Amino acid sequence: MAMACRFGILIWLFLIGLSLVFADDVSLDEDDSTSKIPGCNNKLQLVKVKSWVKGVEGESFSGLTARFGSSLPSKSEKALRLPSVFSNPINCCSSSSSKLNGLIALSVRGDCAFTTKAEVAQSGGAAVLVVINDKEDLYKMVCSKNDTSLNISIPVVMIPKSRGDALNKSMVNEKKVELLLYAPNRPVVDFSVILLWLMAVGTIVAASLWSEFTSERTDERYNELSPKESSNVETAENDSEADIIDINAKSAVVFVITASSFLILLYFFMSSWFVWILIVLFCIGGVEGMHNCIVTLILRNCRNCGRKTLNLPLLGEVSVLSLVVLLFCVVFAVVWAVRRQASYSWIGQDILGICLMITVLQLARLPNIKVASVLLCCAFVYDIFWVFLSPLIFHESVMIAVARGDNSGGESIPMLLRIPRLADPWGGYDMIGFGDILFPGLLVSFSFRYDKANKKGVAKGYFFWLVIGYGVGLFLTYLGLYLMDGHGQPALLYLVPCTLGLIVLLGLVRGELKALWDYGTESSPTVNNSGGV
């Protein structure tokens, strides 16, 4: 049983290598080749497009403005609802035989420059030009090298191919299609970030204090048990200790190499069936974590609840409480998996994920700062490389592509916490990978065990300060996210200096770095405990 548990923990340590904070929306990274041509230096903006077919409102969709042309209003109340028509020729590269005066001109991408299409539509009297891309991406419409100056005074917007096909289908049989375009502003800060911050910090604190919080009732029962029962409890304690994995320096390096290999595998071979494998593994781990957390909390508050047992085929003697909770957790995970595309599915994913991470942090631990330094420094390099440097090799960020599920047919991997951006008109989610909680969480949990073993107070200990350091590091991560217009951030870039760097600095100032570095080894020096509040 212990070997199976250890194997399961190792599998999950490899799977949680996703370490990234990002917003699930369209990224508008500015390119370095921005044209300096007059009239071609507009800021790219996301556009909301509302449609009506024969007066009946249809589904809204997104578009993207060009670097040239006039801007759109930020509120729908100030935007004009205008009829739309396809230009003729449909590429809008020459004067249109269709009447465009005061209408929204629709054209397809290709055959000529975007600026040429805009000039043709404007000369025909069009109020807006909407270019239909030949792909689902929203391509950046910039000026061509042949342009010297521009005087385009109408808005120019690109929409995805599927939306253009839908508009074309709606116009069959001369149906009237009207469009309304506006570019709402995105809020600087969304409240979902605060909730996600609280979830991440709370998970680490709960995991660190879990054994302390849940062991009180167990200690009280020792005096009430018969010698035989007491012996059974001690055996269970020893079995529990046997299930714990002490990470060493070698396994830390192996982890980063294996996690990188797994990330490349996901990048090249990710598909909907591959994501389904990850979903099943996530559900299995989430069920185990949720079962462990619920049973532990119930037994803490009801000491007699776990005594009633049943004899089942193959399983033998099983606690009724454990069986009932297991069935509940399995149903919970199955319902989440079936309804994972629903707007409320993030709640189930976060509950399963938090329970899983609390359990992993109970079963895997760092023995000292030496091993923590190897693990977190390797993870630090791993995170930065796969987010910022991998585009130099793969032409895009591997970590971001995997996290968003770009090649999985719309399916996204579940190894992250997410919260919907409720105040954002564009919707989407703010997300944080499990690795950004678990890697620093291993160090924070170590600091709590160290403080407890050496009877350190809050102020003179390390746990309290590392929790603050983690919170500050996560804040800096989200600050970087907004300063870079939502581009995914390698969170460990900020979290490692704010946690590992902080404990090393405090150890140096207090003269305890040697004790922290070699803690748990025979050469570990004795710490002079002075208490503290």
**3-state DSSP assignment of residue 468:** helix
Catalytic residue among 350, 424, 430, 436: 436
For residues 243 and 8, the answer to whether their CB atoms sit within 8 Å is no
Cα atoms found within 13 Å of the Cα of residue 410, Cβ hemisphere only: 3
Q: Please give the span between the terminal C-alpha atoms of the chain, in angstroms, as a whole number.
A: 41
CB 473 within 8 A of CB 498: yes
Q: For strands 21-23 and 56-57, give the pairing.
A: unpaired
Element (H, E) at 83: strand 81-86
Beta-strand ranges (E) seen in 313-459 are 316-319, 364-365, 416-420, 429-433
Nearest alpha carbon to residue 455 among 522, 521, 523, 526: 526
What are the Cα distances from residue 80, in Å, to 51, 52, 54, 91, 120? Answer: 12, 13, 17, 24, 21
Task: Give, for 43, the enclosing helix (H) or strand (E).
Answer: none
Q: Is 102 left (phi over 0), alpha (psi -120 to 50) or beta?
A: left
- For the CA atoms of 459, 463, 469, 470, what is the dihedral angle to 10 degrees? -150
- Report angle CA 88, 93, 94 to the nearest 5 degrees: 65
Q: At what angle do helices 369-384 and 492-510 cross, to 10 degrees?
A: 150
Q: 214: buried, middle or exposed (CB in 10 Å: 19+, 13-18, 0-12)?
A: middle
Residue type, 481: L
Looking at the DSSP bridge assignments, the partners of residue 82 are: 179
Q: What would the DSSP string read from start to end of 164-198?
A: HHHHHHHTGGG--EEEEEE-PPPPSS-HHHHHHHH
Residue 436 is a catalytic residue: yes
What distance in Å separates the CA atoms of residue 327 and residue 318, rounded to the nearest whole number?
Answer: 13
The single residue of 383, 424, 430, 451 carrying the catalytic annotation is: 383
Q: What is the DSSP letter of 224?
A: G
Tokens of 326: 């297991």
Residues carrying an active site annotation: 383, 436
